[in-house]
Amino acid sequence: MTVALADEGTGWLAYEITGVASTDAAGQGSIANPYGCTVNILRSYIVPSVESTGAAALTVGITTAAAAASDVFNSLDMNGVTVDRPINGFVNDPGAVTITVPAAWTSALFLTFTAAASMVGFVGTIYLEVLRTTVANA
């Protein structure tokens, strides 16, 4: 048997989120792909540590730096959340009858955060389980 390392970029990413007042597309922020190649986001969770003082619905997705997308979280209420309890994302629903396609985070795209209202006061952590693609650095 021959064994070779096939992947060194698989695992979990964690980013702390601090809410701001902006309701612009990607107004809560955007994060560049840290790998330099395509990774598939298999699962996502947000664990709030302080809820938003505004009635904000947060949308998170993969797109250009100043745009909004909802392929990771879609309109998730950040006011009235249970602190320190994980909120499951929509990326890969294990109960789905059909196969879901993970969000593909290429090196040219960003993870963007967009709120429908002010997220001032919100603090939490987003956790992303990623699987690096096995094709040439896409």
Q: What is the pLDDT of residue 7?
A: 52
Mean pLDDT, rounded, of the chain: 85
106 — pLDDT class (breaks 50, 70, 90): very high
Q: What is the pLDDT of residue 134?
A: 66
Which domain range does residue 115 map to?
15-132
**Is the pLDDT reported for residue 1 higher than 50?**
no
Q: Which residue has the higher pLDDT, 79 or 112?
A: 112
Report how far Cα 108 is from the mean position of its chain's Cα atoms.
16
In a domain, 138, yes or no: no
Distance CA 134, CA 92 (A): 19
pLDDT tens per residue across span 65-100:
999 999 899 888 888 889 999 998 865 555 555 566
**Is the pLDDT reported for residue 3 higher than 80?**
no
In a domain, 35, yes or no: yes
Q: What is the pLDDT of residue 109?
A: 97
Question: How many H-runs (helices) and E-runs (strands) does the chain carry?
Answer: 0, 9
List strand residue ranges (DSSP E) for the chain, in order.
11-18, 29-32, 39-50, 57-63, 73-77, 87-88, 103-105, 110-115, 123-132
| Residue 88: CATH number of its domain | 2.60.120
pLDDT tens per residue across span 19-44:
999 999 999 999 999 988 899 998 89
- Overall domain count for the chain: 1
In a domain, 74, yes or no: yes
**Is the pLDDT reported for residue 113 higher than 90?**
yes
Q: What is the pLDDT of residue 17?
A: 92
In a domain, 2, yes or no: no
In a domain, 42, yes or no: yes
In a domain, 9, yes or no: no
In a domain, 1, yes or no: no
Return the structure tokens found at 40.
């598939």
Tokens 């963007």 map to which residue? 112
**Is the pLDDT reported for residue 138 higher than 50?**
no
Q: What is the pLDDT of residue 97?
A: 56
In a domain, 137, yes or no: no
